[in-house]
Structure formats: C-alpha cells, structure tokens
C-alpha cells in the first residue's frame, strides 16, 4: 500500500417505493448559480479526521450504502479505480473482490488516510492500494486516466456538485463508470423539524435535490445507467446517543449561520422535547440515500 499527498491544496427502515425507471431528464437551461453559503472544506476535513477512529463502529447506514452501491455495479470491474471520499476504506475489499486491479483511495481528511495507513496497513499489505490526500474538486489525475470512480456518501459534502462531477467526468476514461451513493433532501428531517420549532438557524446540512443532480449529469453528458432512492432509518435510545452517533461519523453541521456547538443545555433540553419518538420511545433518524450509476460515453469512431 502506498500513500501520496496531492500537490494540490492540500441507517425509515421502510423501503421507499421504487423511483421510476432511469430516465433522461428533460433538457433545461443551466440555472444561474444561487448564491450559496460557504462550506469550509478545512473544517469538513478536520471533523472527519477527528472521527477516523470512531467512524467504523458508528457507520451502519454508511455501510449499507456501500453494500447496495456495490450490488448495483457490474460483477467484473478491472483496471484503475478511484474511491473518492474513501474514509476508512470500507469499500476497498468489495472493490478489490470485484476485480479492481489498482485502487486509489482519495480523501480530503488526512486523519482518515492515516487511519488506513497505520491501522489497516497489515490488512491491506501487498494490496494494490494507494491513498491520496486530495480534494474531490481538484483531483491529481490526468484526463481520461482511470477506469472508474466509486464514491459513497461524499458527494453530499460538495457545495458545488456541478464542479465536483465535472472533475470526475474529466478523469474517467470514455466508457468508464461513475458509481455514486449520496444523500437527498429529507435526510435528518426529524432533526431539522425539531430544531425548526426552536430557532431558525441551519442545524442540518443542506442536500442537493435529485433533479438538480440529474440536470448536472445531463449537462456533463453523462449517461444514467441506473438510479434508486431509499429511505434508511436508524433508531437511538436517547438524544445523547443520537448526537454521539453523529459526532462519531464526523457528520456535524458545517453550514454558515450555524451556532458553534448545539446552543447549550437549554437548547438541548428543548430539542429533546421536540424530537419525535417511535411507539417504543426510540428516536428515529432518517437518511434519503440515492444510488446513481453513470457512464461517460465511449468515443464514437
């Protein structure tokens, strides 16, 4: 296993009804970019670096997202693949099992890559894996240089999915696959609704709508091989456990306008009162997971 530092700056348990079959979105004029609050990438990297050691134990939904994404991919992959936002490398084994010959695990969080290199080195010893510290928006790879891209639960951290996907489209070879799991609006809705009854600040990250992602794919001339959305819900015995679970996977709010911390004991007591419970007194937390398989069209001769 090798590591590289880029020269660039630096679980609704009820399945949702199936989305209609893959469809090409209707042509649309590019929308003028809405002014977006800035997400601080350094802060994102720091919070994931801090979570590296606790991530795997808490990442149940994340593990399901990877498994379902792998199931949607062809059985035989081969060639050089990037796992972008690879985290602790949870997708490395299944990708290697599918025949990936060289895997580059790319992540912005140095702590995640250190975890892979130090903790997991013996597990992946002699495997064709390279870890690369880089930003998904500025990949240190040549145009048309990799056979495929895999990315599970990273794209929702991108403030400009168009820029991110255009970078992925640049590095993948014609005919190559881009396999994505991401989160859609509705994710953490219980938390959003509960906070809205307390104050108007953004306590939950924003998520790009499905149609906006499909429009970007169309603008980038990426073919949609398949898409599916499912709501996955995990349940916690208490608010403290829920907040600990989020912290353990590095999923804290990075929107501008957020309060630092959660707003103190009084706000947490209010949140506890407002947060919905199941009949058995559990606190549900939902994820709208979206699996999207794209192909860069092969060159026409």
Chain residues that interact with ligand SAM, rule: CB under 6 A: 41, 44-45, 48, 59, 62, 66, 85-87, 90, 106-109, 112, 135-137, 152-154, 157
Residue 124 vs 157, nearer CB to ligand SAM: 157
DSSP 8-state symbol, 157? G
Residue 157 vs 195, nearer CB to ligand SAM: 157
- Residues 253 and 51 sit within 8 Å (Cβ to Cβ): no
Buried residues in 210-244 as b, exposed as e (16+ CB within 10 A) = bebbbbbbbbbebebbebbbbbbbbbbeebeebbe
- Residues 262 and 186 sit within 8 Å (Cβ to Cβ): no
Provide, for the chain, the percentages of residues in helix, strand and coil under a 3-state DSSP scheme, each rounded to the nearest 5. Answer: 35, 20, 45
Listed residue (120, 134, 107) closest to 1, CA to CA = 120
Q: Residue with the closest Cβ to ligand SAM? A: 87
Residue 41 vs 80, nearer CB to ligand SAM: 41
Least Å from the CB of residue 243 to ligand SAM: 17
Least Å from the CB of residue 281 to ligand SAM: 28
Least Å from the CB of residue 101 to ligand SAM: 20
Least Å from the CB of residue 253 to ligand SAM: 14
Listed residue (187, 245, 206, 247) closest to 47, CA to CA = 247
Residue 66 vs 294, nearer CB to ligand SAM: 66
- Residues 148 and 178 sit within 8 Å (Cβ to Cβ): yes
Residue 63 vs 270, nearer CB to ligand SAM: 63
Structure token pair of residue 47? 């919070």
């Amino acid at each position: 296993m090798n590591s590289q530092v880029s020269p660039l700056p630096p679980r609704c348990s009820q399945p949702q009804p199936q989305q209609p079959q893959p469809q090409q979105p209707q042509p649309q004029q590019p929308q003028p970019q809405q002014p977006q609050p800035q997400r601080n990438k350094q802060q994102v990297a720091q919070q994931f670096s801090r979570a590296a050691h606790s991530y795997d134990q808490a990442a149940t939904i994340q593990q399901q997202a990877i498994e379902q994404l792998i199931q949607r991919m062809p059985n035989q992959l081969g060639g050089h693949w990037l796992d972008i936002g690879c985290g602790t490398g949870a997708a490395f084994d299944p990708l290697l099992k599918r025949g990936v010959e060289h895997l580059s695990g790319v992540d912005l969080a140095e702590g995640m890559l250190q975890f892979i290199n130090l903790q997991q080195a013996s597990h992946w010893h002699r495997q064709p894996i390279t870890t690369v510290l880089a930003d998904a928006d500025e990949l240190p790879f040549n145009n048309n240089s990799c056979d495929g891209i895999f990315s599970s639960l990273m794209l929702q951290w991108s403030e400009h999915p168009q820029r991110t996907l255009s970078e992925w489209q640049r590095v993948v070879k014609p005919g190559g696959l881009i396999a994505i799991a991401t989160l859609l609006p509705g994710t953490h809705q219980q938390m959003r609704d509960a906070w809205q009854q307390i104050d108007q600040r953004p306590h939950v990250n924003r998520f790009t709508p499905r149609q906006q992602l499909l429009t970007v794919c169309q603008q980038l001339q990426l073919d949609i091989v398949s898409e599916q959305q499912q709501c996955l819900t995990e349940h916690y015995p208490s608010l403290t456990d829920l907040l600990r679970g989020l912290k353990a996977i590095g999923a804290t709010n990075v929107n501008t306008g957020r309060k630092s911390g959660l707003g103190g004991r009084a706000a947490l007591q209010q949140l506890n009162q407002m947060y919905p419970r199941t009949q058995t007194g559990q606190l549900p937390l939902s994820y709208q997971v979206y699996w999207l398989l794209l192909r860069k069209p092969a060159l026409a001769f």
